[in-house]
């Protein structure tokens, strides 16, 4: 499915960035780095200021590419000498050839897209594996705010008010697991981020994790990767 372009009046209203500020960016970057093989081809969709790609290029000898919509982030990536495309992910990835990357990264990006699942499937045409970092809407602090105050929650991971948030879709860990059953990708690894570290197979992860890293691949690639 090819995403449709938003009407101009709505384009002017929507937030002009995909790389949402992550209060634990250094921690998240390190967790992502550990999951990428040195020397890999990596594309960061919603790369922001290019800090992660710079780390992967300089410390892991990766071949990197960024895509960013926000003008400030785009220019900062260029200042870091990161190859970056100024592009709108909601318009698709038709300009990227099949199997052109080993890894694709969407860190704090997926929940801001109008068609997140359709874009995930497009990314799996472009990259062998996708690393997705998303806020966990079932995190205990979010549950407590809803229960105690009956209002849309505001936390470090979801720092916006309901009326100005760039987040269009919010999900829990359980929601993402259910999505896997319906679509053409599988979860290779699920890493709840609790405190300052990722904790595989953590007890009560859907309550304790503030964000989650998922590593995804196509279901039909399971045999070839095993």
DSSP codes of every residue in 167-185: ------HHHHHHHHHHSSE
The pLDDT, as a whole number, for residue 76 is: 95
Q: CA–CA distance from 119 to each of 32, 56, 61, 124 (Å)? A: 20, 24, 27, 9
Name the pLDDT band for 166 (thresholds 50, 70, 90). Answer: low
Residues 6+ apart with CB under 8 A from 22: 28, 107, 108, 133, 157, 211
Q: What is the mean pLDDT of residues 209-214?
A: 91
The pLDDT, as a whole number, for residue 23 is: 54
The answer to whether residue 24 scores a pLDDT higher than 60 is yes
Please tell me the distance from the alpha carbon of residue 150 to that of residue 140, in angstroms, as a whole number.
14
The pLDDT, as a whole number, for residue 27 is: 85
Name the pLDDT band for 226 (thresholds 50, 70, 90). Answer: very low
From 75-79, 105-109, 144-148, the region with the lowest mean pLDDT: 144-148
The pLDDT, as a whole number, for residue 103 is: 98
Q: What is the mean pLDDT of residues 52-76?
A: 96
Please tell me the distance from the alpha carbon of residue 91 to that of residue 78, in angstroms, as a whole number.
22
The pLDDT, as a whole number, for residue 41 is: 98
Name the pLDDT band for 162 (thresholds 50, 70, 90). Answer: low
Please tell me the distance from the alpha carbon of residue 46 to that of residue 217, in angstroms, as a whole number.
19
CA atoms within 13 A on the CB side of 46: 27
Q: What is the pLDDT of residues 106-146, one digit of tens each?
A: 998 888 888 888 888 899 999 999 999 998 888 888 888 88
Please tell me the distance from the alpha carbon of residue 221 to that of residue 224, in angstroms, as a whole number.
5
Q: Which of 8-22, 116-130, 159-173 has the highest mean pLDDT?
A: 116-130
Q: CA–CA distance from 6 to each of 12, 68, 108, 118, 209 (Å)? A: 10, 17, 21, 16, 33
CA 22 to chain centre: 11
Comparing 158 with 207, the larger pLDDT belongs to 207
From 52-61, 68-77, 131-140, 166-175, the region with the lowest mean pLDDT: 166-175
Q: Give the pTM.
A: 0.80
The pairing of strands 84-86 and 185-194 is: unpaired
The answer to whether residue 100 scores a pLDDT higher than 80 is yes
Share of the chain above pLDDT 90, in %: 44
């Amino acid at each position: 499915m090819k995403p449709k372009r938003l009407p101009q009046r709505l384009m002017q209203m929507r937030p002009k960035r995909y790389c949402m500020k992550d209060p634990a960016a250094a921690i998240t970057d390190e967790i992502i780095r550990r999951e990428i093989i040195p020397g890999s081809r990596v594309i960061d969709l919603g790369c922001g200021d290019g800090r992660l790609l710079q780390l992967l290029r300089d410390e892991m000898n990766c071949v990197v590419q960024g895509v960013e919509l926000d003008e400030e982030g785009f220019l900062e990536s260029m200042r870091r000498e990161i190859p970056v495309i100024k592009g709108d992910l909601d318009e698709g990835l038709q300009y990227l050839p099949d199997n052109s990357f080993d890894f694709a990264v969407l860190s704090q990006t997926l929940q801001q897209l109008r068609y997140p699942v359709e874009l995930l499937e497009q990314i799996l045409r472009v990259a062998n594996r996708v690393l997705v970092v998303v806020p966990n809407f079932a995190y205990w602090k979010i549950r407590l705010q809803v229960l105690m105050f009956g209002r849309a929650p505001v936390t470090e991971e979801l720092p916006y008010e309901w009326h100005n948030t760039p987040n269009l879709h919010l999900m829990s860990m359980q929601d993402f697991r259910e999505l896997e059953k319906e679509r053409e990708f599988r979860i290779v690894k699920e890493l709840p981020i609790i405190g300052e570290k990722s904790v595989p197979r953590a007890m009560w992860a859907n309550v304790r994790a503030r964000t989650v890293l998922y590593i995804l691949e196509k279901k039909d690639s399971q045999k070839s990767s095993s």
